[in-house]
Amino acid sequence: MNLLIGRRRILAGLAIFVSVFILGIGVASAEKRSTAQQPSSSSWRAQVAGQPTDYVGQDVCAGCHEDKAKQVSTTVHAHTVLAGASYDTGCETCHGPGKAHADAMGEAIGNAAKVEAAKKLIYGFHGKGEENSARCLACHEYGEEHSNFARSQHNVNDVACIDCHSAHHAKESQFLLVERQPVLCFSCHTEIKPEFSKPFHHRVNEGLVRCTDCHNQHGGFLTKQLRSTASQDQVCFKCHVEKAGPFVFEHPPVKTEGCVACHTPHGSSNPRLLRRSQVNLLCLECHTLTVDTSVPGLPSFHNQAAKYQACTMCHTQIHGSNFSNIFFK
């Protein structure tokens, strides 16, 4: 179902890609996109240039790049060919019009200087991150998953599609990844890696949970590129549904500050991924009269004798309850 929608969007993208190409102007695509999906910046979008006669079609490329042609034919991009649009198929959908390059190469054989010059006549993805990504986004930005790439921390920091994906040298054939998760992510996010080696952690290294379950690597509206559930709730509810409520008696911080008020999302030295080594210290961050008068302090019988330190022994339903306003059951 999702896949079908994805395909349809990409096909729509293809149609627009072609119309932009034919008209030679960028506004056509902007008009056809719904306002909800307008990217924040369109100035760096690919300038799809040239006339139909500037393209030669994949067969000509294959004449000299046989290995590439074979390899591409085994990937999803082999099927991005549009019927009846010979000038907009195969290799040239990503590399742009290639006739000048093909012709020049034909005359350059054996002449190193001419070969170097002919290389510059085709787009070889040596540009800036945004420029490279724009090539891919010409087809891929038409879906919730990808339409916010422009505002992503990745794009802003010059991380491009081809830092994670490769059309020709993918290590993982699924999603054309240069490396599988989480190794891919750790290759840059070295600071995050130790968190998943702590005694208590979401089992990302073990393959049970993925970085991209919680983060949208392609960008979104929330901070830290966090995903939300389909109903726009916190990402944690996607798997921990029973914590979502609604409850007759809510414990406000669960909803207002979110799960990370008490838990570390990646890993922790403390059981239950708690931020504090002892539960009572966690609770007392808020339940002290001096901190915030809207949060009740402890009843006086809660002397900090051992009995009262294990708060959740009694307040067991700490995420909310339908039966007890003090979360006993």
- Site residues for ligand HEC, window 7-36 (CB under 6 A)? 7, 10, 14
316: left (phi over 0), alpha (psi -120 to 50) or beta: alpha
Q: What span, in angstroms and rounded, lies between the C-alpha atoms of 235 and 312?
A: 24
Strands 320-321 and 267-268 turn out to be: unpaired
Amino acid, res. 188: C
Distance between alpha carbon 145 and the CA centroid of its chain, in Å? 7
Q: Is 298 in the site for ligand HEC (CB under 6 A)?
A: yes
Residues 227-246 contacting ligand HEC, CB under 6 A: 235-236, 238-240, 243
Which of 28, 163, 198, 228 is the binder for ligand HEC (CB under 6 A)?
163
Task: List, in sequence order, every residue forming a beta bridge with 165; answer none if it has no partner.
Answer: 177
Q: What span, in angstroms and rounded, lies between the C-alpha atoms of 139 and 17?
A: 7
Q: Indicate the residue among 34 and 256 with the shorter CB distance to ligand HEC.
A: 256
Residues 91-110 contacting ligand HEC, CB under 6 A: 91-95, 98, 101-102, 105-106
Min dist. Cβ of residue 65 to ligand HEC (A):
4
Cβ within 8 Å of residue 37, ≥6 positions away: 141, 142, 144, 147
Residues 174-203 contacting ligand HEC, CB under 6 A: 174-177, 181-182, 184-185, 187-189, 192, 196, 200, 202-203
Which of 16, 20, 135, 148 is the binder for ligand HEC (CB under 6 A)?
135
Q: What span, in angstroms and rounded, lies between the C-alpha atoms of 34 and 3?
A: 20
Provide the mask over 277-296, with x wherever binding to ligand HEC is found by CB under 6 A and - wherever it is not. --xx-xx-xxx------xxx
Residues 46-85 contacting ligand HEC, CB under 6 A: 56, 58, 60-61, 63-65, 68-69, 72, 76-77, 80
